[in-house]
Amino acid sequence: MTLRQSQFVIPVPLAIAQSSGLLTRAGLHVETFRTSGSAEQLSQFRDGDIDLAVTSIDNLIVWNRSGADVKVIAQVERTTPLTLFARRPFTSVAALDGANLAVDASRNGFSLAAIALLATAGVTPVLVEVGGVKERLDALLSGEADATLLGPPFDAIGLAGGLIALDSVNARFPDYPGQGLVTSRRAEREKSEELAAYLEVLREAVALSTTMADAAGTELLIGQGFPEHAAAAAWEARPRTVETSTVGLRRIVDIRDELGMLPEDFAGLDELQVFDSST
């Protein structure tokens, strides 16, 4: 049984499932692809090239109005550690007014959290669509952009490269949800058995993580290619359940509403977790 999954970096539950043999025992193979950004993930869902995506849950609000039919079926991070980084000479949040903020997509995803964070300081950046987290890091290091959000392991790389950490989404919005595991109606119809087995594996992996010492968990992630600092942060942000946080979903909706970016036809939280009944 094979599933195709798009992701930015490997989520902790999948790392545990791979290292502990849970996938093998379930007869599952998860073929993973590193994505260059949420626009690529949307295109892959529309073309039927993937069954799953690990992505910002906010993306669904736009994706389901752009030709996809997707829903979130699990939360694979309790939160995503997201730090606002800038290159010199931008050494304060206030200095970013009118500066180029590198984002994945300007109207969905974690970019809205960045915009909301800056708005609390009265700062309005110029949005530059660059792509996923690696692409955004490269844009800062090259001078193509002035600031962006980075999470593990790219935050550690940014610090080593001389970037400056200015603020944290998690400090401002501690209930902001981590990335979700998203699937399509087509995948649910064609691979329902595989999806059910995969969710059970992820539940077992999360349960296993609760029995592991932090040092052991961090070491496991280092073995998956995470720098030490990033591994510790990712381990701390791991989910304690794969169930999607209702509080987190409400935070996404509230941020969109406050920014004037909530679609008029938004049908409530169920829209993110139930397929569109009109199709």
pLDDT at position 106 is: 82
Q: Could you state, in order of their start, the residue ranges of all structural domains in the chain?
A: 2-79+176-244, 83-172
DSSP 108: S
**pLDDT tens track, the chain, 279 positions:** 899 999 998 999 999 999 899 999 999 999 999 998 889 999 999 999 999 999 999 999 999 998 889 999 999 999 888 899 999 999 999 999 999 999 988 888 888 899 999 998 999 999 999 888 889 999 999 999 999 999 878 888 888 899 999 999 888 899 999 999 999 999 999 999 999 999 999 999 999 999 999 999 999 999 887 778 788 888 998 999 999 999 999 999 999 999 999 999 998 999 999 887 665
pLDDT at position 277 is: 65
| H-assigned helices in the chain | 12-20, 22-25, 38-47, 59-63, 111-119, 133-142, 154-160, 169-172, 185-190, 192-209, 214-223, 228-236, 246-258, 270-273
What CATH code would you report for 2-79+176-244? 3.40.190.10
Asked if 107 contacts 261 with a C-beta cutoff of 8 angstroms, the reply is: yes
Which tokens in the block code for residue 126?
């110029």
Fold match between domain 2-79+176-244 and domain 83-172: yes
Fold type of domain 83-172 = D-Maltodextrin-Binding Protein; domain 2 (3.40.190)
Distance between CA 122 and CA 203 in Å, rounded? 42
Query: Cβ–Cβ contacts within 10 Å for residue 64, how many?
Result: 20
Distance between CA 225 and CA 209 in Å, rounded? 18
